[in-house]
Structure 1
Amino acid sequence: MDVYLPSEDQLRKSGRKRAPVLVYYHGGGLCVGDRGWNDWVGKWMFYGAVEAGIAVISCDYTLLGPHSGEHIIDDVKDALIFIRDELNHKLDKHESTVRVDPKNVAVSGASGGGLVAYYAGIHSPYPLKAVLAMYGGGGDLLSDWYLQEKKAPFFPGMSLLPSSAPFDAILDRDPRSTPPTISVPPGSTDPALSSRHLLFVWLLQSATLVDALSGVRGASAALRALPEKGDARAHAAAENPHGKRTLPQLGVTASFPPTFFAHGTADEIVPLAESRHLSRVLERVGVECVLWEVEGGGHGFDTEGGWASSPGASDPELTRKKDEGLKRIVPWLVDHFD
């Protein structure tokens, strides 16, 4: 993990003696990416949080293939325990006198990192103050988007992938035979990682993401045979303990933290329906949540390049609304810390 501390002056202005914590999980479809503060990160979040006296902690986590969502959950729990029990001891060697408040921890994730943030909300070993999901995936893993095989091009700018072979070489390995892959930097040109950069696309195309997440081979095919509407898929998935643990919509309860969803209406990679679905699930169990639908926003709309490639970028009024919306997120977060 990388720890970004507010300055002593920023902490003093916030009126706190210790800095609340915002844990951030990177995007990359759970198959690539790393904790670096790079172009995949909405810099407004890191800068805004630190300016408000919040410590931002950007975490790596085990990537899918051959490891499963269970391994990601283990990483999430271990990191949160470290933040609570050990981080301030490590910071004693730091030149800054700023220390974190382990009783005030929130989590955030973008894209695939949103699903990791949902895991934290469900499986954290102690209560979290809030979840911030930026166009997060994993809000409805039982939809046809994930469970129906793709027979025509579906991913922006890409043809269908011609063969499963490169991806089978990743997915079919025994997890005990290889250490967890926790860091694949964006834009890496390492030939050994070329298949991994397309792994998420393959999981969508072959409709096997639920297999990879749960670690249960054939789970996706069994769920695909059931109707999308109604509760049949949810009931079937919940019968398997790995399914119930790794599909967030099956694990949320009334103890899930207050949640802010931000999702573009023009997102072609993670459908807006995901955030809409999980927000309804949370509302049904009485969890406070906000759903901000960003008109004209594509995937990664909160990053400079992501907005520039969004349909709304050519509209000054939509750009203004996007900018104004982003400005209210950090204050919302601050309000949820003690």
Structure 2
Amino acid sequence: MGTSPWITFKFKEVKRVNMAMDVYLPSDEQLRKSGKERAPVLVYYHGGGLCVGDRGWNDWVGRWLFCEPRPCSIISLHASGSDQSEPTDGAVEAGIAVVSCDYTLLGPHTGEDIICDVQDALVFIRDELNDKLEKHETAVRVDPKNVAVSGASGGGCVAYYAGIHSPYPLKAVITTYAGGGDLLSDWYLQEKTEPFFPGVPLLPSSAPFSPLLDAPRHTTPPTVRTPLSDPHSPRSLLFVWLLQRGTLVDALSGVRGASAALRRLPAAGQARARLAREDPHGRRTLPQLGLGAAFPPTFLAHGTEDAIVHVEESRHFCGLLRSEGVECVLWEVEGGGHGFDTEGGWKSSPGGGDEELTRRKDEGLARIIPWLVEHFD
């Protein structure tokens, strides 16, 4: 794929912070084999609980995007001359352009800022990306009428935002172990008094997190890239803190006290949803409240043993989509934990040592790209 298999483009600037996307293009031969003149686009949003992470490729990006189920190395995507095998059987191999996008992380910014980023990036892909590609040594162009989105973990919530708020119709939404499917559950709203997050004790104080959450939103530059290299940094632990205090809805909506008001209502029934809909920011930033018949066809993949984002979230979201008449495939990965579609994530999953469950997992991952291709024109 050449010495630089991705091309980076800035799609906007906010308070002197550049927001960018990395574009991974199929080769001329890969595009020719797909039978298409222009490459469909699959936009990818990284995980990190909406609080940490960046658009760069790393070991916590699902390998199905480039090379699943046969072994290969993501290193081979970054440099030519590697001893590693070339990626096969993924989106790029299928003639699809993968676009990994920045988005604003929570604190002090909210889901409203993320929605704005999603819309601006999608407009850039539609209106400007092909013009920008003309300046590079590639004959491949993208098809702005064939755009789908995907996301893992917190990035799945961003993909839901795209499905709801895109400025033009999308062909599909694909998520893996996505958060955002039921943000009105007790998991997000109830305060925790005992350790609940794998490998992390209860956090003792708000002191590390208050500067992130309480800074003035409209004058603070956005945070869009934070490496996962320091798991004990305040930003890396911010998602855990929001879960512990039961205030993720506050952070997403920007409405202080929203979580406390919601948790006083029963989890069963529609009381929480009715209250959340009364605030316009709640309606926009809680994906489950914005669904309708126009939401794109959706493929959800979720491990049954996920201890960070529970499989019930995807079950709930898929049920809502089906009630709206939207096509939804829900693949529950038996024995899969959080990050089951990555090598390390599967090894640490309860089912990671089981040959039969591993075979089923690989077969399931191999279904994703063919399903996506069927939904492109």
Q: Same fold (TM over 0.5)?
A: yes
Q: Superposition RMSD on alpha carbons, in Å?
A: 0.9
- Mapped partners of 2:66, 2:151: distance in 1: 12
Correspondent of 1:170 among 204, 212, 232: 212
Residue 270 of structure 1 corresponds to which residue in structure 2?
Answer: 309
TM normalised by structure 2 equals: 0.88
Correspondent of 1:142 among 170, 176, 184: 184
- Mapped partners of 1:206, 1:245: distance in 2: 22
Residue 277 of structure 2 corresponds to which residue in structure 1?
Answer: 238
Choose between structure 1 and 2: higher helix proportion: 1
8 Å contact from structure 1 (residues 130, 333) kept in 2: yes
Residue 103 of structure 2 corresponds to which residue in structure 1?
Answer: 61
Counterpart mapping for 1:22-61 below 5 A: 22-47=42-67, 48-61=90-103
* Stretches (4+) displaced over 3 A: none
- Mapped partners of 1:46, 1:155: distance in 2: 30
Residue 28 of structure 2 corresponds to which residue in structure 1?
Answer: 8
Counterpart mapping for 1:147-158 below 5 A: 147-158=189-200
- Mapped partners of 2:282, 2:112: distance in 1: 10
Q: How many residues are aligned here?
A: 335
8 Å contact from structure 1 (residues 106, 129) kept in 2: yes
Counterpart mapping for 1:1-338 below 5 A: 1-47=21-67, 48-188=90-230, 194-338=233-377
- Mapped partners of 1:283, 1:42: distance in 2: 26
- Mapped partners of 1:324, 1:43: distance in 2: 13
Give the % identical residues.
76
Residue 188 (structure 1) shift: 4.5
Residue 160 (structure 1) shift: 0.3
Query: Which range is displaced more, 4-13 or 167-176?
Result: 167-176
- Mapped partners of 1:332, 1:45: distance in 2: 13
Query: Which range is displaced more, 54-63 or 44-53?
Result: 44-53
Residue 254 (structure 1) shift: 0.3
Q: Which runs of 5+ in 1 are unaligned?
A: none
Amino acid at match of 1:320: R
Residue 176 (structure 1) shift: 2.4
TM normalised by structure 1 equals: 0.98
Q: Which runs of 5+ in 2 are unaligned?
A: 1-20, 68-89
> The residue matched to 2:95 in structure 1 has which SS?
coil
- Mapped partners of 1:153, 1:185: distance in 2: 25
- Mapped partners of 2:219, 2:34: distance in 1: 48
8 Å contact from structure 1 (residues 46, 56) kept in 2: no
